[in-house]
Protein backbone atom coordinates (compact mmCIF):
# COMPACT_ATOMS: atom_id res chain seq x y z
CA UNK A 1 0.00 0.00 0.00
CA UNK A 2 1.31 3.44 -0.92
CA UNK A 3 1.66 5.71 2.12
CA UNK A 4 -0.67 8.71 1.98
CA UNK A 5 1.83 10.84 3.86
CA UNK A 6 5.51 10.74 2.83
CA UNK A 7 7.79 9.33 5.55
CA UNK A 8 10.65 11.48 6.79
CA UNK A 9 14.17 10.75 5.60
CA UNK A 10 16.44 8.35 7.45
CA UNK A 11 18.58 11.11 8.94
CA UNK A 12 15.55 12.98 10.26
CA UNK A 13 14.28 9.76 11.80
CA UNK A 14 17.59 9.45 13.66
CA UNK A 15 17.57 13.11 14.76
CA UNK A 16 13.98 12.65 15.96
CA UNK A 17 15.35 10.67 18.90
CA UNK A 18 16.23 14.11 20.23
CA UNK A 19 13.23 16.31 19.35
CA UNK A 20 15.01 19.54 20.31
CA UNK A 21 17.93 18.67 18.05
CA UNK A 22 15.60 17.86 15.17
CA UNK A 23 13.86 21.21 15.67
CA UNK A 24 17.15 23.11 15.61
CA UNK A 25 18.26 21.24 12.52
CA UNK A 26 14.94 21.86 10.77
CA UNK A 27 15.26 25.59 11.48
CA UNK A 28 18.77 25.66 10.04
CA UNK A 29 17.60 23.74 6.99
CA UNK A 30 14.69 26.13 6.47
CA UNK A 31 16.64 29.37 6.98
CA UNK A 32 20.12 28.55 5.74
CA UNK A 33 20.22 25.39 3.62
CA UNK A 34 16.98 25.70 1.67
CA UNK A 35 16.22 29.38 2.24
CA UNK A 36 18.13 32.55 3.01
CA UNK A 37 19.81 35.31 1.03
CA UNK A 38 22.24 33.38 -1.14
CA UNK A 39 20.68 31.58 -4.08
CA UNK A 40 20.13 27.88 -3.67
CA UNK A 41 22.02 26.96 -6.87
CA UNK A 42 25.24 28.46 -5.51
CA UNK A 43 24.86 26.66 -2.18
CA UNK A 44 24.22 23.45 -4.07
CA UNK A 45 27.42 24.02 -6.04
CA UNK A 46 29.42 24.51 -2.83
CA UNK A 47 27.88 21.37 -1.31
CA UNK A 48 28.84 19.37 -4.40
CA UNK A 49 32.41 20.61 -4.05
CA UNK A 50 32.52 19.53 -0.41
CA UNK A 51 31.15 16.16 -1.54
CA UNK A 52 34.08 16.01 -4.00
CA UNK A 53 31.89 15.88 -7.08
CA UNK A 54 34.35 15.22 -9.92
CA UNK A 55 32.86 17.66 -12.41
CA UNK A 56 32.59 20.55 -9.95
CA UNK A 57 36.06 20.03 -8.48
CA UNK A 58 37.71 19.68 -11.91
CA UNK A 59 36.16 22.88 -13.25
CA UNK A 60 36.06 24.93 -10.05
CA UNK A 61 38.49 27.54 -11.42
CA UNK A 62 37.32 27.41 -15.03
CA UNK A 63 35.65 30.63 -16.25
CA UNK A 64 33.94 28.65 -18.99
CA UNK A 65 32.03 26.72 -16.33
CA UNK A 66 31.49 29.13 -13.45
CA UNK A 67 31.31 32.90 -13.20
CA UNK A 68 33.57 34.92 -10.91
CA UNK A 69 31.04 34.80 -8.07
CA UNK A 70 30.80 31.03 -8.25
CA UNK A 71 34.55 30.59 -8.50
CA UNK A 72 35.11 32.82 -5.46
CA UNK A 73 32.57 30.80 -3.47
CA UNK A 74 34.25 27.55 -4.52
CA UNK A 75 37.67 28.85 -3.49
CA UNK A 76 36.25 29.64 -0.06
CA UNK A 77 34.63 26.22 0.04
CA UNK A 78 38.01 24.66 -0.71
CA UNK A 79 39.64 26.67 2.09
CA UNK A 80 36.99 25.50 4.58
CA UNK A 81 36.99 21.88 3.47
CA UNK A 82 40.72 21.36 3.03
CA UNK A 83 42.24 23.96 5.36
CA UNK A 84 43.75 25.83 2.42
CA UNK A 85 44.89 29.42 2.96
CA UNK A 86 42.16 32.06 2.77
CA UNK A 87 44.28 35.06 1.78
CA UNK A 88 43.45 38.69 1.05
CA UNK A 89 42.95 37.93 -2.65
CA UNK A 90 40.21 35.46 -1.83
CA UNK A 91 38.51 37.86 0.57
CA UNK A 92 38.68 40.69 -1.96
CA UNK A 93 36.94 38.44 -4.48
CA UNK A 94 34.32 37.41 -1.93
CA UNK A 95 33.62 41.00 -0.92
CA UNK A 96 33.37 42.00 -4.59
CA UNK A 97 30.53 39.54 -5.18
CA UNK A 98 28.74 39.11 -1.85
CA UNK A 99 27.37 41.40 0.82
CA UNK A 100 28.55 40.83 4.37
CA UNK A 101 25.21 39.24 5.38
CA UNK A 102 25.51 36.90 2.39
CA UNK A 103 29.03 35.95 3.47
CA UNK A 104 27.83 35.22 6.98
CA UNK A 105 25.08 33.01 5.62
CA UNK A 106 27.29 31.23 3.09
CA UNK A 107 29.97 30.69 5.73
CA UNK A 108 27.40 29.20 8.08
CA UNK A 109 26.11 27.02 5.26
CA UNK A 110 29.65 25.68 4.67
CA UNK A 111 30.09 25.17 8.42
CA UNK A 112 26.90 23.14 8.77
CA UNK A 113 27.23 21.23 5.52
CA UNK A 114 30.81 20.11 6.16
CA UNK A 115 29.91 18.97 9.66
CA UNK A 116 26.80 17.11 8.50
CA UNK A 117 28.69 15.29 5.76
CA UNK A 118 31.16 13.95 8.30
CA UNK A 119 28.42 13.09 10.79
CA UNK A 120 26.43 11.13 8.20
CA UNK A 121 29.52 9.14 7.18
CA UNK A 122 30.35 8.32 10.79
CA UNK A 123 26.77 7.26 11.51
CA UNK A 124 26.48 5.25 8.30
CA UNK A 125 23.65 7.45 7.01
CA UNK A 126 23.04 8.44 3.37
CA UNK A 127 24.73 11.70 2.36
CA UNK A 128 22.76 14.76 3.49
CA UNK A 129 20.38 16.03 0.79
CA UNK A 130 21.71 18.85 -1.36
CA UNK A 131 19.95 22.22 -1.20
CA UNK A 132 16.68 21.83 -3.07
CA UNK A 133 16.58 18.07 -2.64
CA UNK A 134 15.10 17.76 0.82
CA UNK A 135 11.63 16.24 0.80
CA UNK A 136 9.22 18.50 2.65
CA UNK B 1 36.91 9.76 13.90
CA UNK B 2 34.06 12.07 12.88
CA UNK B 3 36.61 14.70 11.95
CA UNK B 4 39.53 12.76 10.54
CA UNK B 5 38.16 9.41 9.40
CA UNK B 6 34.37 9.20 9.57
CA UNK B 7 34.25 6.10 7.36
CA UNK B 8 36.55 4.37 9.84
CA UNK B 9 33.96 4.20 12.63
CA UNK B 10 33.58 0.45 12.93
CA UNK B 11 31.49 -1.98 14.98
CA UNK B 12 34.17 -2.25 17.66
CA UNK B 13 34.10 1.48 18.30
CA UNK B 14 30.29 1.50 18.38
CA UNK B 15 30.36 -1.33 20.93
CA UNK B 16 32.73 0.67 23.13
CA UNK B 17 30.65 3.80 22.80
CA UNK B 18 27.44 1.96 23.70
CA UNK B 19 29.05 0.67 26.87
CA UNK B 20 29.25 4.25 28.11
CA UNK B 21 26.58 6.28 26.30
CA UNK B 22 22.92 5.92 25.43
CA UNK B 23 21.84 6.21 21.80
CA UNK B 24 20.50 9.68 22.50
CA UNK B 25 23.78 10.75 24.09
CA UNK B 26 25.72 9.41 21.12
CA UNK B 27 23.51 11.33 18.73
CA UNK B 28 23.96 14.54 20.71
CA UNK B 29 27.71 14.07 21.07
CA UNK B 30 28.12 13.20 17.39
CA UNK B 31 26.10 16.20 16.26
CA UNK B 32 28.05 18.46 18.61
CA UNK B 33 31.40 17.17 17.30
CA UNK B 34 30.34 17.63 13.69
CA UNK B 35 28.95 21.11 14.38
CA UNK B 36 32.10 22.22 16.20
CA UNK B 37 34.30 20.74 13.47
CA UNK B 38 32.53 22.62 10.68
CA UNK B 39 32.56 25.81 12.70
CA UNK B 40 36.24 25.67 13.54
CA UNK B 41 37.14 25.02 9.90
CA UNK B 42 35.05 27.99 8.82
CA UNK B 43 36.29 30.54 11.34
CA UNK B 44 39.85 29.55 10.46
CA UNK B 45 39.27 31.10 7.02
CA UNK B 46 38.18 34.31 8.77
CA UNK B 47 41.51 34.41 10.57
CA UNK B 48 39.84 34.63 13.94
CA UNK B 49 39.96 32.35 16.92
CA UNK B 50 37.20 30.96 19.09
CA UNK B 51 35.73 33.71 21.25
CA UNK B 52 37.53 36.58 19.53
CA UNK B 53 34.32 37.90 17.97
CA UNK B 54 30.98 38.07 19.77
CA UNK B 55 32.57 36.77 22.90
CA UNK B 56 29.32 35.34 24.21
CA UNK B 57 30.00 31.66 24.66
CA UNK B 58 32.58 29.20 25.89
CA UNK B 59 30.85 26.33 24.09
CA UNK B 60 33.23 23.53 23.18
CA UNK B 61 36.26 24.85 25.04
CA UNK B 62 38.28 23.05 27.68
CA UNK B 63 37.46 24.31 31.20
CA UNK B 64 40.75 26.15 31.69
CA UNK B 65 40.35 27.93 28.35
CA UNK B 66 36.65 28.58 28.93
CA UNK B 67 37.53 30.59 32.03
CA UNK B 68 39.21 33.18 29.81
CA UNK B 69 36.29 33.75 27.43
CA UNK B 70 32.53 33.89 27.42
CA UNK B 71 29.90 35.44 29.66
CA UNK B 72 31.17 33.60 32.72
CA UNK B 73 34.35 35.66 32.73
CA UNK B 74 34.41 38.21 35.49
CA UNK B 75 31.25 37.01 37.12
CA UNK B 76 31.19 37.04 40.89
Query: Pick from A24, A27, A32: which is nearest to A105 by CA?
Result: A32
Answer for the pair A130, A50: CB distance below 8 angstroms, yes or no. no
Give CA–CA dist A12/B75, Å, rounded: 39
Give CA–CA dist B4/A66, Å, rounded: 30
What pLDDT was estimated at residue B75?
41
Three-class SS of chain B: CCCCCHHHCCHHHHHHHHHHCCHHHHHHHHHHHHHHHHHHHHHHHCCCCCCCCCCCCCCCCCHHHHCCCCCCCCCC
At residue B76 the predicted structure's pLDDT band, cuts being 50, 70 and 90, is: very low
What pLDDT was estimated at residue B57?
66
**B59 pLDDT above the threshold of 80:** no
Query: Pick from A7, A50, A8: which is nearest to A26 by CA?
Result: A8
Report pLDDT digits (tens) over A51-86. 999 999 999 999 999 999 999 999 999 999 999 999
Alpha carbon A110 to chain centroid, angstroms: 5
Query: Pick from B60, B55, B22: which is nearest to B40 by CA?
Result: B60
Kindly report whether the global pTM for this prediction surpasses the value 0.90: no
| CA atoms lying within 13 Å on the CB side of residue A46 | 31
What pLDDT was estimated at residue A65?
95
Q: Does A113 touch chain B (CB under 8 A)?
A: yes
Report pLDDT digits (tens) over B5-51. 898 889 999 999 999 999 999 999 999 999 999 999 999 999 887 66
Q: Does A82 touch chain B (CB under 8 A)?
A: no
Cross-chain residue pair B38–A112, CB shorter than 8 Å = yes
Select from B1, B31, B40, B47 the residue whose CB has the most chain A CBs within 10 Å, as the one to mutate to test that interface.
Answer: B31
Positions of chain A with pLDDT under 70: 135-136
Answer for the pair A134, A34: CB distance below 8 angstroms, yes or no. yes
Contacts of B33 in chain A (CB under 8 A): 119
B4 to chain A, minimum CA–CA distance in Å? 9
- Pick A83's closest partner by Cβ from B33, B39, B41: B41
ipTM summary value: 0.89
Cross-chain residue pair A119–B41, CB shorter than 8 Å = no
Amino acid sequence: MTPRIAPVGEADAVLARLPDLLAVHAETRRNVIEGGLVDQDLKRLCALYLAEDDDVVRHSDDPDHFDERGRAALRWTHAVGWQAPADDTLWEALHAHFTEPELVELGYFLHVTLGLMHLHRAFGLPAPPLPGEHAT
Amino acid sequence: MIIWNPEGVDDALWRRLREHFTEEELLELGYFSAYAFGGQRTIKTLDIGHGEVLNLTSLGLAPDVAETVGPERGRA
